[in-house]
Amino acid sequence: MRDLEQTLTQIGRELEWPETPDLSASVLARLEVLPPEGSAAGAEPEPPGTEAAPPARRPSRRRRLPGLLPPRGLRRALVLALVSLLVLSGAVFAAVPSVRDAVLEFIGLQGATVERREDLPPPPPIEPLELGTRTTLEATPERLAFDPLVPEDPGDPDGVYVSDRAAGGELSLTYRPSESLPRARTTGLGLLVTEIRGDLMPDFFQKLAPEGAVIEELTVGGEPAAWIEGAEHFFFYRAPNGEVVEDELRLAQNVLLMQRGPMLIRLEGAFDRDRALEIAASLR
């Protein structure tokens, strides 16, 4: 085998690769020389606090969006596509311009963003969840680029699902409602745990929360987290190419989003923050 490996390496060094184009000029032209996220001029990165952060405006964070999203024309097209979807589904997306513009608060985590908006459209109808293929915990390693974590509290899930819509795979664990896990209106479940490789999927989960929602920046296990409570918020996926995955737009109830190493973990349910933190602390 060693000979074959050496032969392959040798051949690799003699391969005729297509000529590498000079990408620096075209990339820089596309960046519009905007600073990337978190590069607030002269500002130190804000340490995530354990107390609820005041809903301060973060104009510097706001600026990152144009760089992350497709060009403006395409963004407009995406927003319009979203409008069409909502109109088709019976909703009226009357406040599109303000939805796009009036960001009151922005939280960026590895793999997710949360925005508090001044105005939000009427909610879409609640649809069955699309969690991927049903499987077992034992069978997940082949399809996931991370080691799944399972909360010891409440224990083994009632359902395990894997989807490939995220790079590295997306794992969903479902728990039926119980005394300690009341039924969430948005999912019909007691608890929904979702795990992805957040470092591979910037902004995979995106949330738009209404003005009345509580958004707290927290530290869980020494890593950044966010708690969203008080008002159902919009939740949708963003494909790796930045496009909104339109048919995945849905409402979400209370959610704890947390980073754990390269992973982003999302706990959704009708429980309160303390209960969410208990579940988070039991992830193994």
Q: Which residues bind other proteins (CB under 8 A)?
A: 1, 4-12, 14-18, 20-28, 30-31, 33-39, 41, 64, 67-68, 108-110, 141, 144-147, 167-168, 199-203, 239-242
- The least distance separating other proteins from the CB of residue 168, rounded to whole angstroms, comes to 5
Q: Which is nearer to other proteins, 64 or 275 (CB)?
A: 64
Find how far residue 98's CA is from the centre of its chain: 22
Q: Which is nearer to other proteins, 60 or 282 (CB)?
A: 60
Q: Spell out the residues 6+ positions from residue 49 whose beta carbon is closer than 8 angstroms to its own.
A: 217, 218, 219
Check if the beta carbon of residue 194 is closer than 8 Å to that of residue 265. Answer: yes
Query: Measured between alpha carbons, how far is 221 from 223 in angstroms, rounded to an integer?
Result: 6
Helix (H) or strand (E) holding 175: strand 170-175
- The least distance separating other proteins from the CB of residue 222, rounded to whole angstroms, comes to 14
Q: Is 276 exposed, middle or buried (0-12, 13-18, 19+ CB in 10 A)?
A: buried
- The least distance separating other proteins from the CB of residue 23, rounded to whole angstroms, comes to 5
Q: Which is nearer to other proteins, 61 or 275 (CB)?
A: 61
Q: Which is nearer to other proteins, 25 or 88 (CB)?
A: 25
- The least distance separating other proteins from the CB of residue 44, rounded to whole angstroms, comes to 12
- The least distance separating other proteins from the CB of residue 123, rounded to whole angstroms, comes to 29
- Per DSSP, 50 falls in state S
Q: How many CA atoms lie within 13 A of 27 on its CB side?
A: 4
Q: For the chain, what's the residue count? A: 284
What's the 3-state SS for 183-200? CCCCCCCCEEEEEEECCC
10 Å Cβ neighbour count for 278? 14
- The least distance separating other proteins from the CB of residue 22, rounded to whole angstroms, comes to 7
Six token digits for residue 229? 């409570």
Q: Which is nearer to other proteins, 22 or 179 (CB)?
A: 22
Query: Measured between alpha carbons, how far is 136 from 155 in angstroms, rounded to an integer?
Result: 14
Q: Which is nearer to other proteins, 108 or 190 (CB)?
A: 108
